[in-house]
Structures are given as C-alpha cells and as structure tokens.
Amino acid sequence: MPDTDVLIAGGGPTGLLLANELGLAGVRTIVVERDPTRSGQSKALNLQPRSAEILDWRGWLGLMDEYVLANPKWGHFAGIPLNYGELDSRFCYQIAIVQSDVERTLEANLERFGITPRRGHELVRIDAGLAPCDEQVTVTVRTPDGEQQITACYLVGTDGGRSTVRKLTGVAFPGRDGHSPAVVCDITLRRKPAGLAESWTLPEFDTENADFAFLLPLRDEVYRFAFGGTDQLGIDKDAVITAEEVQRALARSYGTEIELGELRSGSRFTDSARQATEYRTGRVFLAGDAAHIHAPLGGQGMSLGLQDAFNLGWKLAADINGWAPPHLLDTYHAERHPVAAAVLTNTQVQTVLTAPHPDALAVREMITRLLQVPDANRQVAEDISGIGVRYDLGPGRGHRMPDLALTDGARLADHARDGSGLLLDSSPDHRFASIADAWKPRIRSVTVDHGALDAPAVLVRPDGYVCASTDDAESLSAALQYWFGSPD
C-alpha cells in the first residue's frame, strides 16, 4: 500500500487548495514544500471573482475576511478599466488580499483534515510513476534528516514556474522568454509626499516611455511597490534588489519628497509566457505556475492556479475513492489547458498595449475606445475575472453554475460544502430528484422553483460547472454515469 494517496509538491495557494479539496473527500494527502518557512513577501494581491466563488462554494472564503484589504469593483486590462459591478456574480468585485494570507488561511484549514505541510522537504527525484503501466509514484525527498522515499497513488507538481516536478517529467514548456523585466517589493516609507494615494487605484502605465510604477497600501504602513523600465534591462533575474535601486524608482515616479524606509522583501519578474504541453504524465500532474507562467497583468495568476486545483481535486478524489469513470482524470488537461492558453494570450496582448511604441499606442487608443462599449467591457471583464470560463462539454453545458437563492432562504452554495455534485430539479413534480438516489452520496438533490433554470434538470459537478441540462430522464442518467461513474 502506498504511503499516501496523493503527494503534492509545493505549498503555495494551488497546492494548499488542492490539499483541502482532497482532505474534504477523505483522501490521504502529503504536502511537501522546499522552503522551511512561508515567505513574508505579499506576492499576489487579489482573488478574482471566480476564485471567490469557488472558495465560497466550500465555505472557505469567509475564513479570509480578517485579511481582506479592499473590494474594488473594477478590474483592468493593461490599466484600462473593466467594470466588475455588472458581472453576474455575488462577487462582482475583486477581493484584495495578499497571497501569504491566502496561504495562511488554507494551511490552517488543513488542520481539520489532519494534514500538516512538511516544510523544508524538497522533492529531488521521481523514481517511478511516469509510465502508463506504473501502479504508483515513487519519489525521493530531501528532508532536514536526510533523503527519504515516498510512495503515492498520484503526484501533483504545484511547485512554481521553475517546477522541479515538471523538469523531472520531461514535459516541454514552450513559449517565450520575457523582454520587460520589473521588480515587485514590499516596503515602508520614511517620508511621503502630500497626496500620495492611500487606497487601491488602477495601475497606470507610462506609455510614452518604457517606465511604469505603482504603489498600493497593504496594512501596518507597508506598501506594495512595483516598477520597471529601461533601467531594468540587462539585470539578472536573480540579482539582489537594493534599497538604492528602489529609492531611485520611487523618486522617478513620485518625486524627491518620497523616501524609502525599509525594503522588507522583493523579487524580479518578467513577461515570460510559457505553458506545459501536457498537464498529465502517467501518474504525475502539473497545476498552477508549474503548468503555466505569464505576465502578471490583470492580476490573474493566483486565481488561475486556484481554479486548476478546484478542477483537479474532485477528479483525483473520485479516482482514489473508487468511483471515477475511466476518462475522468484526462479531462483535467482537456479543460484547463485551453483556459491557461487564453490567459497567456490576453497577458501578451496587455504587454503590447503597455509598450512605448507608436503602433502599440495606436492599438491602445482603439482598445480603450472599444472597452467603453458596455458589452465589450463586460466580455473582457468576464475573461479576466474567470467568470466567463467555459469548458467544451457541449450545448447548454460547460459554464459555471451561478449561486442561486433558494426558497428556503439558503443559497445553492450551501449545498456544495461537502464536495458533492448537485442535481437541480425544477420540474413541477420534482420527478428528476429520485433518479440521482442511486448515486448518493456523490450527488445531492436540490429542488428549485419551477422555471428558475434553463431546463427542468441541471447536473452540476463538484467544481461548480454544469455537465447536463435536460428534460429527459434517460439523458440525465447517462450524464450521471459519464461524470459520476456507475450507480451503487
């Protein structure tokens, strides 16, 4: 018997959410994380609306309330405003929260499942599990007490853009290197100029030259400062960020009256765009930055990884718990690879729109005008927010299920806390609910007001996406078997 059902390499937001999903389903899970302590750097700064929805679907979003900094009702496309207030969601806004607080909350929630990430444990070798015939994965992990082997049914690499797991599997990571280096850091200020923004505002890009900078307040007098420009060209990505470098950038953008206090942490990044060709190799999966990297424009990175985890988690749990249909695990790559590819495309477009080139300025002017059209703005807002993600499951299927208000005062999300699928029955006599009885507890039936849905019977997967919409009992049974395996 393997040491664990699922081994997750990487203790960031993607890996921690995946561990929570697996723990909820009773799956034995080990999380190994190379760094001995959580980084103090803020890193990502937001949850997009769709990520807020999936966390709320499990009842975990409220655990983060104390860390929320703001709820801006806008997104942006290369600094061009997007109106989130018109999104069809309970969360028609971004949730401003730093990545470390998302990690802190998700890690604390793992305690209820008896899962404690093993920090200071680095996966260094995959000994078995890449071949189709392998029945388990065997890896070597370097620990503070020496190397040890761990066996698992599945391995998931959520270990970042320089993923060791991805490299060990030999999966190609095509794309392009970055050509616009930049810096992001957490700082305090010794002196602030009058009128310095103390609330969350849209980032501004100086499209007349290659420089950009924006400053956002976090908490306890700490600011997030991001900057880039010609002075970053030629600097190695791993070069130490100095206080003098940060002070020059502050003065260039905010005047000589601003003075750096403490440089608490910082890192360099680029607009590299790469994506793994395969998200699955044998018993090994990739998710989050291990599967895709892109420029941080639009604030989509952390949310994209969280949604990878939410898609994969219930499918792995179904396999471990013995009811997954044979094709289920392969749907992870089929569904999530196109979503990340679209994000790479939109971030590359945003990079062009911020370039100090006459042609780029002309395109930006046109795009700015187009995004003043409400329907165009809404379409791009749905793309950036994740609300518009749709899987290719056929007509009337593949879209997210909105969180409906129910007649008993509950919301649909209240029925999704345990990770089960949902059968929504809005037929006059509720004749479809009994069909799902043979699939309990994988499926929970919910009666809905007649006419509230597009069809009398709507089947919703555990990750909140519609996989059947029908008025026919036979087709509903077929969808149940396709997504939830053979009935008991």
What CATH number is attached to the domain comprising 107?
3.50.50.60
- Residue 358 domain-assigned? no
- Looking at the fold, whether 62 and 166 belong to one and the same domain comes out as yes
Please tell me the predicted confidence (pLDDT) of residue 202.
74
How many helices (H) and strands (E) would you count in the chain?
10, 23
Q: DSSP for 315-365, please give it.
A: HHHHHHTT---TTGGGHHHHHHHHHHHHHHHHHHHHHHHTS-SHHHHHHHH
374 pLDDT band, cuts 50/70/90, is very high
**Is it the case that residue 253 has pLDDT exceeding 90?**
no
Tell me the three state secondary structure of residue 291.
Answer: coil
Q: Point out the domain boundary residue: 254, 269, 284.
A: 269
Mean pLDDT of 10-24: 98
Distance of alpha carbon 373 from the chain centroid = 28
**Is it the case that residue 266 has pLDDT exceeding 70?**
yes
Q: Point out the domain boundary residue: 269, 297, 315.
A: 269
CA dist 24 to 18, 19, 27, 109, Å? 10, 8, 8, 10
Look up tokens 């900094």; give the residue.
Answer: 69
- Residue 399 domain-assigned? no
- Looking at the fold, whether 76 and 140 belong to one and the same domain comes out as yes
**Is it the case that residue 47 has pLDDT exceeding 90?**
yes
DSSP state of 237: T
What's the mean per-residue pLDDT of the chain? 94
Please tell me the predicted confidence (pLDDT) of residue 199.
78
Query: Range of 438's domain?
Result: 412-484
- Looking at the fold, whether 301 and 314 belong to one and the same domain comes out as yes
d(CA 430, CA 420): 20
Lowest mean pLDDT among 95-109, 130-144, 201-215, 331-345: 201-215
Lowest mean pLDDT among 149-163, 195-209, 260-274: 195-209
- Residue 34 domain-assigned? yes
- Looking at the fold, whether 309 and 236 belong to one and the same domain comes out as no
Please name the helix (run of DSSP H) or strand (run of DSSP E) that holds residue 380, with its range, or none: helix 374-385
- Looking at the fold, whether 314 and 215 belong to one and the same domain comes out as no
∠ CA 306-307-312, nearest 5°, is: 100
Determine whether 349 is exposed, middle or buried from the number of CB atoms within 10 Å of its CB (0-12, 13-18, 19+).
middle
**Is it the case that residue 206 has pLDDT exceeding 70?**
no
214 pLDDT band, cuts 50/70/90, is confident
Lowest mean pLDDT among 53-67, 166-180, 220-234: 220-234
Distance of alpha carbon 121 from the chain centroid = 24
d(CA 432, CA 350): 46
- Looking at the fold, whether 102 and 140 belong to one and the same domain comes out as yes
- Looking at the fold, whether 229 and 325 belong to one and the same domain comes out as no
Mean pLDDT of 357-377: 94
135 pLDDT band, cuts 50/70/90, is very high
DSSP state of 446: E
Q: Point out the domain boundary residue: 219, 240, 269.
A: 269
d(CA 115, CA 136): 21
What percent of the chain is modeled with pLDDT above 90? 80
Report the domain count for the chain.
Answer: 3
Enter the pTM of the model.
0.96
Mean pLDDT of 268-287: 95
Please tell me the predicted confidence (pLDDT) of residue 305.
98
Tell me the three state secondary structure of residue 474.
Answer: helix
User: What CATH number did the domain enclosing 221 receive?
Assistant: 3.30.70.2450
- Residue 329 domain-assigned? yes
- Looking at the fold, whether 291 and 168 belong to one and the same domain comes out as yes
d(CA 298, CA 287): 20
Please tell me the predicted confidence (pLDDT) of residue 110.
98
Locate all alpha helices (DSSP H) within 25-78, ordered by sequence. Answer: 49-57
3 pLDDT band, cuts 50/70/90, is very high
Please tell me the predicted confidence (pLDDT) of residue 210.
60
- Residue 385 domain-assigned? no
- Looking at the fold, whether 187 and 241 belong to one and the same domain comes out as yes
Kindly calculate the radius of gyration of the chain based on its CA atoms and give it in whole angstroms: 23
Decide: 75 and 384 in contact? Cβ < 8 Å: yes
Please tell me the predicted confidence (pLDDT) of residue 233.
74
- Residue 353 domain-assigned? no
- Could you read off the pLDDT of 284-326 as tens digits, one per residue? 999 999 999 999 999 999 999 999 999 999 999 999 999 999 9
- Could you read off the pLDDT of 57-74 as tens digits, one per residue? 999 999 999 999 999 999
- Looking at the fold, whether 251 and 317 belong to one and the same domain comes out as no
Mean pLDDT of 431-460: 93
Question: Which residue, among 298, 321, 205, 221, has the nearest Cα to 261 in the 3D structure?
Answer: 221
d(CA 442, CA 438): 9
Question: Which residue, among 450, 460, 452, 458, has the nearest Cα to 413 in the 3D structure?
Answer: 460
- Residue 364 domain-assigned? no
- Looking at the fold, whether 142 and 203 belong to one and the same domain comes out as no
99 pLDDT band, cuts 50/70/90, is very high
- Looking at the fold, whether 199 and 96 belong to one and the same domain comes out as no
Residue 441 preceded by cis peptide, ω within 30: yes
User: What CATH number did the domain enclosing 439 receive?
Assistant: 3.40.30.120
- Residue 307 domain-assigned? yes
Strands (E), 229-300: 259-269, 273-275, 280-281, 284-286, 292-293
**Is it the case that residue 207 has pLDDT exceeding 70?**
no
d(CA 423, CA 443): 7
